[in-house]
Amino acid sequence: MIGYLVARLVGALAVLAGMSLIVFTLQQIIPADPARAAVGPTAPLTTVQLKRAELGLDQPMLEQFGRYVQRLSRGELGTSTRTHRPVTQDLRQFLPATLELMSFGFLFGVALAVASALFHLSSRIALLLRTLLVALGSAPIFLIGQVLALLLWYRLDWFPGGGRLDAQLIPPDGPTGFLVVDGLLRGRLRICADALHHLALPALTLALPLSAAVGRTLASSIKGVLQQTYIRTARIKGLTDGELLRRHVLRNAAPASLAMLGVQFSIMCTNVMIVESLFGWPGLGFYLVQSYATSDLPAILGVSMTFAALYLSVSVLLDLLQALLDPRVRVL
Amino acid sequence: MRPIRHLLLRGLLAVALPGMVSGAPAENVLHIAYLQDVSTFDPDNSFLLYGLDAMRVIYQGLVEYRPGTTDLTGWLAESWDVSADGLTYSFRLRPGIRFHDGRPMHAADVLAYFRRRRHPGLTLAYFLDDVAAMEAPDERTFVIRLAVPQPAFLDRLASAWGPKVIGPEALVDHLGKDQAQSWLNEHEDGTGPYRLRVVSRGQAYELVRFPDYWGPPPFFDRIEIEVIPQMAQQLLRLKQGTLDLIQHGYPFEGLRQLPPTLRMLAYDDLGLELCFVNRTRRLGDPTLLRAVLTAINPAGWLGDAYFGYAVPATSLYPRAMIAAPPQWVFPSDVRAARAMVAAQPPVTLEIGYPDEDAAGQQIPAELIAAQLESLGIHANVRVYPIDLAGVFVNDLKEAPDLWISHNYPDAAHPATQAEIFFAGNAPLNYLGYRNPSVDEAIASAALITTRAERDERYLAIARRLMADGAILPLAEVKNVIVYRAGLSGFNPRPALPEVVDFETLRRDAPAR
Amino acid sequence: MIAGRVACIALGAMTVLAALGPLLAPANPLLRVDVPYLEPSLQHWLGTDEIGRDLLSRVLYGMTRAWFPSLVIIFFSAAIGTALGALGAAAGGWVDLVLDRLSELFTVIPSTFVALATVAAIGSGTWHAVLAISLVWWPWYARITRSEVRNVAARPFVSAARLAGVRPPRLLTRYQLPAAFPSLLVAATLDMANVILMLSFFSFLGLGAPAPAPELGAMAARSMVSLTTHWWIPLAPAFAIFVLAFATNLAGDGLRTAFE
């Protein structure tokens, strides 16, 4: 087990290394001039040249890569040409918002997926539910966001449509950066409630496609498992439905769903860009869209690495879970 | 207009939470939004449009424009003198001015600031290019000596991007090795009626009233600024009442049916919608260009783009800068144009526009593309990041055939239009038009002091550019502020793009 | 079996409809037909967009532009993925490890960066996006192929063949791959919807064909500001994407049921 874990971690590090190389190469291909972007279109050529020297853009490729790797190992990701602050500082500011949004989106998604998979067992609504899930999984993320915003915000006013917190409230300087958690930890329940209220629509938008895909996979896996002979054996032995579910069904139905969960998480990493923009959520996705608009290379590359690291961590965790549930997987 | 449920909830919370209901008078708070983040709060480094209104009430310059006009008036300077040879400017500074850090402002501080502005690493240093010497002979006098006469100099000082005095907390306490640039990203030390508080970079900023301001106190105690990049969101918030105004970008077709709680104020500014032409490729052919001009003719699409809030431009200068009869007539024979196109091999043109204010340029650019399509010319429309636009000035390899943009000069003097867009070495000469005789004309026109002669010289330059097919006038679009009823005192100034005067803005009716 | 037949017919019908899109459209999607922001009427079934072009025509053309490039992506990535996955599973050892890590690397890079590379290196556009997506899409097929091939390898009939002396390459092509084929087909059909959605995502971000081309994602993005006033302008193209993806998903589901 430990060996498996170590192997996965080493593999993940190798992937990150490859990622950094790709990210650096991208930096070289792109014709936009980061120095020009930093000083603006009206600055004279001398100012641009000063900036180029400052950013080290005239040095040979190998030297630039060397400096890049050096800085990366120290955790330095350069300075954003748009906000003029270190990218790591921007990350520290915007990452918690995205993590909070994605966590809740993930949780809602998994909960909805399990719920829908279990509802599948009742054959009466199974067909309707199945069609509904297929429909959800077929909708582009911006359609889901648009419809939810139009209905639940604009028309019904049940949920707020922008930001993390009501403009009148002051967010706690909390330990985690998650407003819901920090609100709870600090005993400020109003913050916690308001944050949840603001999270509802964007998290739901992220959750729906995930729940549709994972729900269908889970439902079909469960169906597959229930048809196996050992289930019949277990029933004959006298296991109740609940024990059956816990001991056999979920464990065996899980692997395919965990794989799908991994894929859906990677999709969520890209969906979060659109969802954050649609709902004015001040997170990394929103930051990334703004960075693209201004060709802010250091920021774009720094955020790419962050998302890559995030996905890798989740991927390793899911693989671990899979290994725990299915001993056969560990033999790799 | 909030549902009853919300009112009840607010009432309950107001009662339940102590401190919210107290004897203190309610604060006057204004809520506004920006479509893009402010790049920096350093007045010598900021070239984008967002944040100019905040900048105006944090920092102040020597002179400024009077509201609604292009006439100059004193700001930090209560009066000034210009020598007969036009080389020496003496400013008499107002007494009793304090910086936000508490220290008083004297001429020596102004001198220190102007010296900092000239530092070559700063984006806006070029404003003071012709300055030969500066001095502060006494506490209230500041003198600038130019190397060559510059009739546009005072206008440059009044520009939205002009020099604005920064105080010692930046220039002395935090000067550092980078001239305080990094400190000024998030802090300020100005003389204006409001102080800046960066609540959350990229998301929210706050302007708080400065109690020791030298002028009359502004109405609002606090101004909350949020970065809301989606106009759709801003519209919703404005209609709901959580946003007080939208300074720019309200969809023109939406102005026809404003909800009863909203009002609008339309005014002319120095913005000009122009079309730059790349003569080095397909459009070097004069017959094709003539056909294309028929499609670009604003008469064919202006109404559908701006719903009555724009008029065709008369020259390459806005009317608030030079008022003149139309200097250019577009060809309008559509049938001839179609025949011209049909006689040629198939053409595809590239139309480009900048990403700053992309929302505003998208519709005119696509309308022009549709017009070209009806002639039989296919056109692609793309957005370009602003730094790529800077590349095209010198290197036209990847440049589009047509460039549509909404342009603002630095100030109200025509020199600031010509030197930025028309000259050979102009930073925003988007498609690299080069003509040495035009450059000569621009240089000599900059020295004229009589208004009539000056205007005629600049108009002649414009006529040359239009006849060459290099730059074409499209439209003058009104800037429209949409706001919640009860607000007044916007005091817009044509030379300050999209700037609402927070110093004079007030609310006459209760907020909700 | 009925489900399978229905699925195939549905897919065929979608292809034909997508091909006919341009013929069914009442107007040229690039020309102005009337004033902008007209509400849906008998004259213009979906009204006009913000430029005054017929929205129905643009949506129909857009569906064509969404369908065929997606098919191409599926073919490319399935071809590459199956080949690499089978190779890895059959060869085993370090070849398998390298290929597995390689496919993992490609799944790690969120496609947005391929997008950046595309825009930067070869310019944006529909076919550039197709190329870029195909390059990142194959790992899904590689993994399915690899896992199916290995699953099948444990099955009795394959062990029997191996004992009987059938060589590995033949084992692969004659026994393992054909057994994997049904899963791959179902995956490809289901994936079609994902590809349509990914292509619309690129288009939404502005990385597809440039304006004024009637690409559904781009149309939705560009008209977002009209969401509260003329909601059909941004919603119609988004809904069209949904219809395409939904139909494909139902077809894929039907296919999957048929094979179960």
Query: Residue B394 belongs to a domain with what CATH number?
Result: 3.10.105.10
Question: Is the separation of the CB atoms in B344 and B435 below 8 Å?
Answer: no
- Shared-domain flag, residues B399 and B487: no
- Residue B398 contacts C, CB cutoff 8 Å: no
Question: Is the separation of the CB atoms in C252 and C194 below 8 Å?
Answer: no
Cα distance between the two ends of chain A: 11
Question: Is the separation of the CB atoms in B81 and B190 below 8 Å?
Answer: no
A140-154, A269-283, B277-291, C90-104: least confidently modelled range: C90-104
Interval A298-320: pLDDT, tens: 787 788 778 878 888 888 888 88
Share of chain C above pLDDT 70, in %: 90
pLDDT of residue A107: 94
Tokens found for residue B249: 């970008």
User: Residue A331 above 70 pLDDT?
Assistant: no
User: Residue B11 above 50 pLDDT?
Assistant: no
Mean pLDDT of C170-190: 77
pLDDT of residue A81: 73
Chain C: closest CA distance from residue A95 (Å): 17
- Residue C154 contacts B, CB cutoff 8 Å: no
**A295 falls in which pLDDT band (50, 70, 90)?**
low
pLDDT of residue A27: 63
- Residue A299 contacts C, CB cutoff 8 Å: no
**C248 falls in which pLDDT band (50, 70, 90)?**
confident
Q: Minimal CA–CA distance to B5: which of C127, C120, C141, A156?
A: A156
- Residue C3 contacts A, CB cutoff 8 Å: no
pLDDT of residue A294: 67
Residue B263 lies in a domain: no
B240-244, B259-263, B328-332: least confidently modelled range: B240-244
**Separation between Cα atoms, residue C173 and residue C84, nearest integer Å:** 13
Q: Which residues of B touch A289 (CB under 8 A)?
A: 229
Q: Which of C107, C120, C205 sits opposite A26 (nearest CB)?
A: C120
Q: Which of C32, C37, C226 sits opposite B370 (nearest CB)?
A: C32
- Residue C221 contacts B, CB cutoff 8 Å: no
- Residue C50 contacts B, CB cutoff 8 Å: yes
Mean pLDDT of the residues in chain B: 89
Q: Which of C35, C51, C226 sits opposite B366 (nearest CB)?
A: C51
Q: Which residues contact B368 (CB under 8 A, 6 or more apart)?
A: B275, B295, B296, B301, B351, B379, B402, B404
pLDDT of residue B85: 92
* Host domain of residue B168: 11-248+481-507
Q: Which residues of B touch A282 (CB under 8 A)?
A: 200, 202-203, 227
Rg (CA), chain C: 22
Nearest-10 Cα torsion for A243, A244, A249, A252: 80
Count of structural domains within chain B:
2
**Separation between Cα atoms, residue B412 and residue B18, nearest integer Å:** 52
Q: Which residues of C touch A220 (CB under 8 A)?
A: 256
In a mutational test of the A interface, the residue from B17, B29, B117, B201 whose CB has the highest number of chain A CBs within 10 Å is: B201
pLDDT of residue B16: 46
In a mutational test of the A interface, the residue from C197, C243, C259 whose CB has the highest number of chain A CBs within 10 Å is: C197
Closest residue in C to B255 (Cα–Cα): C229
- Shared-domain flag, residues B127 and B41: yes
**Separation between Cα atoms, residue C67 and residue A90, nearest integer Å:** 39
pLDDT of residue B21: 42
Q: Is the CB of B382 less than 8 angstroms away from the CB of C229?
A: no
pLDDT of residue B17: 46
Interval B208-235: pLDDT, tens: 999 999 999 999 999 999 888 778 778 8
pLDDT of residue A155: 80
Question: Is the separation of the CB atoms in A271 and C112 below 8 Å?
Answer: no
Q: Minimal CA–CA distance to C125: which of C218, C219, C222?
A: C218
- Looking at per-residue confidence, does A275 or A134 come out higher? A275
Kindly list the partner chains of chain B, i.e. chains with 3 or more CB atom pairs below 8 Å: A, C
- DSSP characters over B435-455: -HHHHHHHHHHTT--SHHHHH
pLDDT of residue B75: 96
Q: Is the CB of C51 less than 8 angstroms away from the CB of B381?
A: no
pLDDT of residue A7: 74
Chain C: closest CA distance from residue B330 (Å): 21
**Separation between Cα atoms, residue A109 and residue A141, nearest integer Å:** 14
pLDDT of residue A193: 87
- Residue A40 contacts C, CB cutoff 8 Å: no
Chain B: closest CA distance from residue C161 (Å): 59
- Rounded to 5, what percent of chain C is helix, strand, coil? 75, 0, 20
pLDDT of residue C114: 61
A197-206, A218-227, B80-89, B406-415: least confidently modelled range: A218-227
**B162 falls in which pLDDT band (50, 70, 90)?**
very high
**Separation between Cα atoms, residue A12 and residue A283, nearest integer Å:** 25
Tokens found for residue B87: 């080389």
**Separation between Cα atoms, residue B147 and residue B170, nearest integer Å:** 29
- Shared-domain flag, residues B39 and B107: yes
- Shared-domain flag, residues B126 and B186: yes
**Separation between Cα atoms, residue C128 and residue A106, nearest integer Å:** 32
Question: Is the separation of the CB atoms in B431 and B394 below 8 Å?
Answer: no
Chain B: closest CA distance from residue A53 (Å): 12
What CATH number was assigned to the domain covering residues A100-291? 1.10.3720
Tokens found for residue B295: 């499609």
- DSSP characters over B456-474: HHHHHHHHHHHHTTSEEEE
pLDDT of residue A106: 95
- Residue C166 contacts A, CB cutoff 8 Å: no
Mean pLDDT of C153-165: 78
Q: Is the CB of B359 less than 8 angstroms away from the CB of C30?
A: no
- Shared-domain flag, residues B313 and B422: yes
pLDDT of residue A44: 66
Residue B257 lies in a domain: no
* CATH 1.10.3720.10 assigned to C2-259: yes
Mean pLDDT of B270-278: 94
User: Residue B102 above 70 pLDDT?
Assistant: yes
pLDDT of residue A328: 65
Question: CA separation (Å) from B368 to A89, B433, C232?
Answer: 43, 22, 24
User: Residue A26 above 90 pLDDT?
Assistant: no
pLDDT of residue C177: 75
Q: Is the CB of A147 less than 8 angstroms away from the CB of C235?
A: yes
**B80 falls in which pLDDT band (50, 70, 90)?**
very high
Question: How many contacts does B have with C, using Cβ atoms within 8 A?
Answer: 66
Q: Is the CB of C226 less than 8 angstroms away from the CB of B366?
A: no
**C61 falls in which pLDDT band (50, 70, 90)?**
very high
- Looking at per-residue confidence, does B96 or B426 come out higher? B96
User: Residue B429 above 90 pLDDT?
Assistant: no
Residue B53, domain CATH? 3.40.190.10
Q: Name the pTM for this structure.
A: 0.85
Question: Is the separation of the CB atoms in B383 and B414 below 8 Å?
Answer: no
Number of Cβ atoms within 10 Å of the Cβ of B148: 12
Q: Is the ipTM of this complex over 0.90?
A: no
Buried-exposed string A71-108: b where 16+ CB fall within 10 A, e elsewhere? ebeeebbbbbbbbbbbbbebbebbbbbbbbbbebbbeb
User: Residue C34 above 80 pLDDT?
Assistant: yes
- Shared-domain flag, residues B59 and B18: yes
Structural domain spans, chain A: 100-291
pLDDT of residue B59: 96
Tell me which range, A45-49, A64-68, B484-488, C164-168, is most confidently predicted by mean pLDDT: B484-488
**C107 falls in which pLDDT band (50, 70, 90)?**
low
- Looking at per-residue confidence, does B138 or A228 come out higher? B138
Q: Is the CB of A154 less than 8 angstroms away from the CB of B122?
A: no
**Separation between Cα atoms, residue C125 and residue A205, nearest integer Å:** 28
- Shared-domain flag, residues B423 and B281: yes
**C111 falls in which pLDDT band (50, 70, 90)?**
low
User: Residue A59 above 90 pLDDT?
Assistant: no
pLDDT of residue B18: 42
Mean pLDDT of A130-145: 88
**Separation between Cα atoms, residue B454 and residue B472, nearest integer Å:** 21
Mean pLDDT of C125-129: 83
Place of tokens 């087909």: C185
Q: Which residues of C touch B370 (CB under 8 A)?
A: 30-32, 51-53, 212
Mean pLDDT of the residues in chain A: 80
Q: Which residues of A touch C70 (CB under 8 A)?
A: none
**A332 falls in which pLDDT band (50, 70, 90)?**
very low
In a mutational test of the A interface, the residue from B2, B203, B383, B395 whose CB has the highest number of chain A CBs within 10 Å is: B203
Burial of B435 (0-12, 13-18, 19+ CB in 10 A): middle
**Separation between Cα atoms, residue B247 and residue C14, nearest integer Å:** 47
